[in-house]
Amino acid sequence: MRLLSVQCGQARPVQAGERRILTAIHKTALSAAVAVHKLGLEGDEQADLSVHGGLEKAVYAYPSEHYPFWQALRAQAGLAQIDTGLAYGSLGENLTLEGLLEHQVWVGDVLAFPDCSLRVTQPREPCFKFNLALGVNTAVRQMARSGACGFYLSVERPGSLQAGQSFQLLAGPRRVSIPERFSAKMFKHLR
């Protein structure tokens, strides 16, 4: 398992129909190591602290293996001509992972990196800002259907992270899996 990319973002206003909203979903890849504190990556912001950030949602991780799915969805919506592909961080994630999918992850598992450890806390629950970020008004529904949600992490051991690092998955109590928790929370979006 490998950390392909590390991203941070600043909260900024964007147009959402007739209103302007504040969002930090647009993340940019970092080329150097970044410090990891109890509340997340140094330099990363969250626009709405009532639903993002904090100790339990300090860092958001997403499997790189899902990127082709989202690129295909954008192509079906006619957006593939606009760009050549989604850059890592386009889904709002801080960490883009390789080799670890949601069905392999349980609440309480730990991702052990060389200089820090992050504990899995819960799946992402997408909101309308996810539709805006992808430019597709059915993105939230597609995430609910596919289960390609990624997961939030708390900071177990602060330190630093850098793209290219390998990590290990250390099993937690294994009571609730990420897909089980996600299905329970997202049922309403599938109706």
State the average pLDDT for the chain: 92
- Percentage of the residues of the chain whose pLDDT score is greater than 90: 71
Lowest mean pLDDT among 2-11, 14-23, 89-98, 173-182: 14-23
- Closest by Cα among 100, 107, 71, 91 to 181: 107
- State how far the Cα of 43 lies from the Cα of 22, in Å rounded to an integer: 17
Full residue range of the structural domain in which residue 46 is found: 2-190
- State how far the Cα of 183 lies from the Cα of 94, in Å rounded to an integer: 23
- What's the token pair of residue 181? 């928790």
Lowest mean pLDDT among 6-10, 83-87, 105-109: 83-87
Torsion of CA 2, 60, 178, 122, to 10 degrees: 140
- What's the token pair of residue 55? 């100790």
CATH number for the domain spanning 150: value is 2.40.33.20
Contact present, 134 and 182 (Cβ < 8 Å) = no
pLDDT tier, 186 (very low <50, low <70, confident <90, very high otherwise)? confident
pLDDT at position 187: 66
Residue 87 identity (one-letter amino acid): A
pLDDT tier, 32 (very low <50, low <70, confident <90, very high otherwise)? very high
- What's the token pair of residue 22? 């504040």
List phi, psi (to 5°) of 2: -140, 150
Give the 3-state secondary structure percentages of the chain, helix then strand then coil, rounded to 5. 25, 30, 45
Beta bridge partners of 151: 61, 123
Indicate if the pLDDT at residue 188 is higher than 70: no
- State how far the Cα of 164 lies from the Cα of 166, in Å rounded to an integer: 7
Q: Report pLDDT digits (tens) over 134-143.
A: 889 999 999 9
- State how far the Cα of 137 lies from the Cα of 155, in Å rounded to an integer: 33
| Residue 30: strand, helix, or coil | coil
- State how far the Cα of 74 lies from the Cα of 149, in Å rounded to an integer: 17
When divided into structural domains, the chain yields a total of 1
